[in-house]
Structure 1
Amino acid sequence: MSDDDKTPAREVIADYAQAHFRYFRTADGTVYAQKNGHPVARPIRSQGTSGSHRQELMVGLFHDGHGVFNGTALKEALDLIEALAMSQDVQPVHIRVAPGFDGATWLDLGRSDGQSVRIHPTGWDICTPHPQEVCWRRTQLTGELPLPAKDTDGKGIDLLLRLCNFATAETECLAIAWLIGCLGPSVPVPAPFLTGPQGAGKSTGGRMLVRIIEGMSGDLRRAPKDEENLIAAVAAGWVTALDNLSHLAPDLSDLMCCIVTGAESIKRALYTDGDVVRARYRRPLLLTGIDVGVIRPDLAERLLPLRLERPRVRRTEAELWGEFAEVLPVVLGSLLDLTVKVRASEADIPTDLRMADFAHLCAQLDAATGLGALNAYRASLDDLNDDVIEGDLLAQTVLKHAASLTPGVETRMTSSEWLQCLSGLYTGDDCRPLPKGWPTTGKVLSDRLKRLQPTLAARGVLIDWGRTKTARYIEMTRRPTPPPHQQEQMP
């Protein structure tokens, strides 16, 4: 055969690729390749060493007798495929959990055969999702989960709680609610903060909770020192677990708020002047530590404190993790059974809590099991409000001043007048110096009060802002205390 009759290598590769793979694009323009009949999709531009599309294409060509092709031919073929895929329909890719058809959700087991769990309104099944319904994206952080056991009769939950050192039954039900929330792709869940004395097994308990969702390769990490690295780690997995936190800087606190409730990061694409890379993220977050110092009010509303106690009997790592790996299929099966039962339960949506979706999930859990998760969640938020107030001298001073106000009567002053009033109340007759970080201007005071507004409202002090024709003002009102019979009816 003459050279003129030979099919160019790039055409051989392109024809083979289109016959054996499905190509599509996501909303941000990234083109993915999905092997026919398999739910896992890989970006065609990935050069990673953990199974990139370029590698699987080269292996397929070699095994099917088409030979070995050089990098230039592969690049030209993939350039053409990428251009053709830009005209295809947009379809999202998902990590670990995904929404499906007819109200179902999916859990990726991380298996090479693509088998996943479909959680539907009447139960759950193990099957391979159709490519048009779910496309999985996997990274080095995607671990493999065992096939969950059927007909567990709920004993897996008891096995899990026996391995953990949760201090109270209220803590246990909140941990269960969080695990159920992690199986919902559209439900923001607060970040569990595992705390307790030294030696209480906080890191071990955190690993167990993470590995129920991420497999035995899931682990805790140290908090990255910069935002870019943390966002990259969050985007590459489902549950992000940060270990042994001792301090929460303001930037890290704000970033954690974004991770829990969702945000988007945009940066310039490498080697370009005008292109950008978008990274959307909303992930379950888990933290461990003895004490992180002062907690900011906006993060406190997104935390779920889980207190652990020191175990009476110590066990070796090999014994503990051996038993955990053995019971994990039963634990996962029981969790899936309970998830189906909870989602089928009807309950009112609490409208007074910031994380309303999670509060509703707790109410559904109560309706299904009677555990009292919603009351436990309210109590945990109340404890966190106490922590915020104990760490903020301005909040303490505002509450001290509010105690002298007539209930239900508004007090209005400008921000500068409030600053003078509260500063004088703090210094007192002995003229003690103002603490570090105390507001220095009326504008700074106003900003601090806006951040403290939900915390103060939980203690019956309402802060509002307005203006007259001549000036702006801040209004403070002490909420009237309800009669005893109404207090008993309040949640």
Structure 2
Amino acid sequence: MSEDEKHPAREVITDYAQQHFRYFRTTEGTVYAQHNGHPVARPIRSQGTTGSHRQELMVGLYNDGHGVFNGTALKEALDLIEALALSRDVQPTHIRVAPGLDGATWLDLGRDDGQSVRIHPTGWDITVPDPREVSWRRTQLTGELPLPAKDTNGKGIDLLLRLCNFAGAESECLAIAWLIGCLEPSVPVPAPFLTGPQGAGKSTGGRMLVRIIEGMTGDLRRAPKDEENLITAVAAGWVTALDNLSHLTPDLSDAMCCIVTGGENVKRALFTDGDVVRARYRRPLLLTGIDVGVIRPDLAERLLPLRLVRPRVRRTEAELWAEYEEILPVVLGSLLDLTVKVRASEADIPTDLRMADFAHLCAQLDTATGLGALAAYRASLDDLNDDVIEGDLLAQTVLKHAAGLDAGAEVRMASAEWLHCLTGLYSGEDYRPLPKGWPTTGKVLSDRLKRLQPTLAARGVLIDWGRTRTARYIEMTRPPAQPPDQDQQETAF
């Protein structure tokens, strides 16, 4: 177009855009566009490979006979639209799952027609959500799910478990509980850690669980080498699955804790001096591996070990995945049926577990099905506590010292005195050398004990901190043994 036509072209584009698209902004200030009546939203500044708003605007103008416009006219029009949208409604965007009205939640099927699953207190149905209720954001990681089957009578769950190599009923019911938790946007769920011997099908089992939520294009990936790349990958999808882990660095362990229970990443916006970009995230996480070495206590409380065994009969990949793809609509339909049933069940909230929301979900699952998921969850946490203790010589030394105390005894000492006491207990009479990473100061010891506090409490050793008028102290208590709770006795296997 000529220079004289730039202003009219900008007006044509702006008028067309406001007639055919709805514009809104998020709390972070990003402006999104939705085609009228369609729930999928695209950021107007994105040049993404999943289709940008600029591209759909150009195609719409061309198809409706308005012609082809140059980049300058489009830029000026989008600049004006963005400025106008900053004073309009604020609405969040969601990936894969979203809260709805009247206690409902939504599951994005990733379809071009926008059809989604609405899970409500009385059932579930397939429909196109009102864009003002739900705005879907899609990326290259958003795969398409099949239309879930109705009236499955729960057979999809049995079909899924038949393909997986879980070692027992405990791992099976915890896997089901995790899948139900993935459909609830407001409930943080622990990260399943699929473990087992070589050849147990850990990666295959992980893919099967992920693809129920993410579709057949969902897959496992290697853990990124730095936290920024991990957070970028997490923010672009719903379920993040990391395969074949053999070692967890402290930074990766901390990042996983934030992913499971929620966090925020802030970085400088491109081509700016002072502006920042905020990325909030809390996502379901899945891990596979034979052994990751020492597990830190804070991550252990956020893990869900699922044990697998080697299958007796091997099948080809093509045969296995062809069957899986065929049964996926039935599996998804059965999972949705069970989700509705579980949400309608009433159960007490366990108040002694870190992931109380997931523990409550397990209790609801037990009420609905009688599977014993809560007892299995408690047993899995006990196993993880054992793993933490076996990998931490300081924890072992503290428990050894506590074993020499009388029930109900309390011991108070300064952190430096505790360091001297525990170091002497570890070294013994033969003065064996201290291991790498052993605390070197009272402050380091105090910090390590704070991290180990929940693990030690689960083994009957309470650690607390206080101060007198002159100094601070660390108190170790070995409370009297309590009789097992009656409710736990009734739900135990």
Pairwise same-fold verdict (TM > 0.5): yes
In the aligned structure 2, how far is the partner of 1:99 from the partner of 1:485?
36
Shift in CA distance, 5/336, structure 1 to aligned 2, threshold 3 Å: closer
CA deviations over 1:144-186 (Å, ceiling 9, x no partner): 0000000000000000000000000010000000000000000
Partner of 2:93, secondary structure, is: coil
Shift in CA distance, 13/426, structure 1 to aligned 2, threshold 3 Å: same
In the aligned structure 1, how far is the partner of 2:125 from the partner of 2:99?
15
The 5 A counterparts of 1:51-130 are 51-130=51-130
Partner of 2:65, secondary structure, is: coil
Which amino acid letter does the alignment assign opposite residue 38 of structure 2? Answer: H
* Aligned twin of 1:295: 295
TM-score (norm 1): 0.98
* Aligned twin of 1:132: 132
In the aligned structure 1, how far is the partner of 2:96 from the partner of 2:274?
32
* Aligned twin of 2:193: 193
Partner of 1:379, secondary structure, is: helix
Shift in CA distance, 51/483, structure 1 to aligned 2, threshold 3 Å: closer
* Aligned twin of 1:445: 445
* Aligned twin of 1:394: 394
The 5 A counterparts of 1:129-208 are 129-208=129-208
Partner of 1:153, secondary structure, is: coil
Shift in CA distance, 474/69, structure 1 to aligned 2, threshold 3 Å: same
**Structure 1 residue 481 displacement after superposition:** 1.5
* Aligned twin of 2:230: 230
Matched, 1:284 2:284: yes
**Structure 1 residue 227 displacement after superposition:** 0.9
In the aligned structure 2, how far is the partner of 1:293 from the partner of 1:339?
35
In the aligned structure 1, how far is the partner of 2:237 from the partner of 2:382?
31
* Identity in percent: 88
CA deviations over 1:440-462 (Å, ceiling 9, x no partner): 00000000000000000000000
In the aligned structure 2, how far is the partner of 1:490 from the partner of 1:324?
33
In the aligned structure 1, how far is the partner of 2:490 from the partner of 2:389?
26
The 5 A counterparts of 1:215-364 are 215-364=215-364
* Aligned twin of 1:8: 8
Runs of 4+ that moved beyond 3 A? 2-7, 483-491
After the TM superposition, which of the residue ranges 6-15 and 263-272 deviates more from structure 2?
6-15
**Structure 1 residue 482 displacement after superposition:** 2.7
Partner of 2:321, secondary structure, is: helix
In the aligned structure 2, how far is the partner of 1:163 from the partner of 1:430?
54
| Structure 1 unmatched ranges of 5 or more | none
In the aligned structure 1, how far is the partner of 2:107 from the partner of 2:409?
53
In the aligned structure 1, how far is the partner of 2:353 from the partner of 2:271?
45
**Structure 1 residue 469 displacement after superposition:** 0.6
The 5 A counterparts of 1:332-481 are 332-481=332-481
In the aligned structure 2, how far is the partner of 1:183 from the partner of 1:283?
11
CA deviations over 1:167-223 (Å, ceiling 9, x no partner): 000100000000000000000000000000000000000000000000000000000
CA deviations over 1:350-391 (Å, ceiling 9, x no partner): 000000000000000000000000000000000000000000
In the aligned structure 2, how far is the partner of 1:64 from the partner of 1:272?
37
Which amino acid letter does the alignment assign opposite residue 285 of structure 2? Answer: L
Partner of 1:464, secondary structure, is: strand
**Structure 1 residue 271 displacement after superposition:** 1.0
* Aligned twin of 1:28: 28
Contact 2:110 2:143 in 1 (8 A): yes
Shift in CA distance, 433/16, structure 1 to aligned 2, threshold 3 Å: same
Which amino acid letter does the alignment assign opposite residue 252 of structure 1? Answer: L
Partner of 2:102, secondary structure, is: helix
Which amino acid letter does the alignment assign opposite residue 351 of structure 1? Answer: T
Partner of 1:140, secondary structure, is: coil
In the aligned structure 2, how far is the partner of 1:416 from the partner of 1:404?
20
In the aligned structure 1, how far is the partner of 2:485 from the partner of 2:149?
49
Shift in CA distance, 489/333, structure 1 to aligned 2, threshold 3 Å: closer
Partner of 1:335, secondary structure, is: helix
Shift in CA distance, 6/449, structure 1 to aligned 2, threshold 3 Å: closer
| Structure 2 unmatched ranges of 5 or more | none
Shift in CA distance, 483/75, structure 1 to aligned 2, threshold 3 Å: closer
Partner of 2:23, secondary structure, is: strand
Which amino acid letter does the alignment assign opposite residue 324 of structure 1? Answer: Y
**Structure 1 residue 49 displacement after superposition:** 2.5
Which amino acid letter does the alignment assign opposite residue 284 of structure 2? Answer: P
Report the number of matched residues.
Answer: 490
TM-score (norm 2): 0.98
**Structure 1 residue 407 displacement after superposition:** 1.1
In the aligned structure 2, how far is the partner of 1:49 from the partner of 1:71?
18
Shift in CA distance, 392/71, structure 1 to aligned 2, threshold 3 Å: same
Which amino acid letter does the alignment assign opposite residue 440 of structure 1? Answer: T
Which amino acid letter does the alignment assign opposite residue 202 of structure 1? Answer: K
Shift in CA distance, 489/417, structure 1 to aligned 2, threshold 3 Å: farther
In the aligned structure 2, how far is the partner of 1:137 from the partner of 1:467?
51
